[in-house]
Amino acid sequence: MAVKKVLQYGEKTLREPSKEVHKVSKKVQELVHDLLETMYAKNGVGLAAPQIGVNLRVFVIDVSKNDEPLNPIVFINPKIIKKSGAVVAQEGCISFPEAYTDVKRYANVMVKALDRHGKPFVLEAKDGELLARAIQHENDHLDGILFIDHCVNRFETDEILSKHKLPPIEPEKLVSEPEIDEELKK
């Protein structure tokens, strides 16, 4: 178990879809520990396996606040099975040091996954809370999608990326989400 190097935006691996986990093996358990250690070391809210160069459908999240005990949640082979509502909120990513921009997300999501022991669970996150946004953010990493692909203003986001010496947005990667756009008009 160790703190791993986090890949930075621009590294090709971040854009590759991840493979399903077929067995929650000792190796997968070690990956979970590495993800948690790295996430905490980098003061992150979540971290996906592709961010440390591992092409597997695994991510971890902990939305506990400073004064609360740690509450890590492990997601193996997650699938978002229900989504509704819309919210705009500022997001950042450990793979984009110091760069934050407004993104569009579903306000409510329900996800099913396996926990660190291979047991299935279903989790619902509502009202655009941090957990709901983090689940979508980390799940996207497993499909090679990055938070900037959901940005509200592409040109403003490009300026922010440039300021932090990161590559510009790839326009062909921007995610079209008419249902979120409709919700936001209400």
Annotated catalytic sites, by residue?
Answer: 138
Q: What is 108-137 written as a DSSP string?
A: EEEEEEE-TTS-EEEEEE-TT-HHHHHHHH
Q: Chain centroid to CA 50: how far? A: 10
Other beta carbons less than 10 A from residue 172's beta carbon = 6
Q: Which amino acid is at 19?
A: K
Per DSSP, helices labelled H in 15-153 are 26-41, 130-142
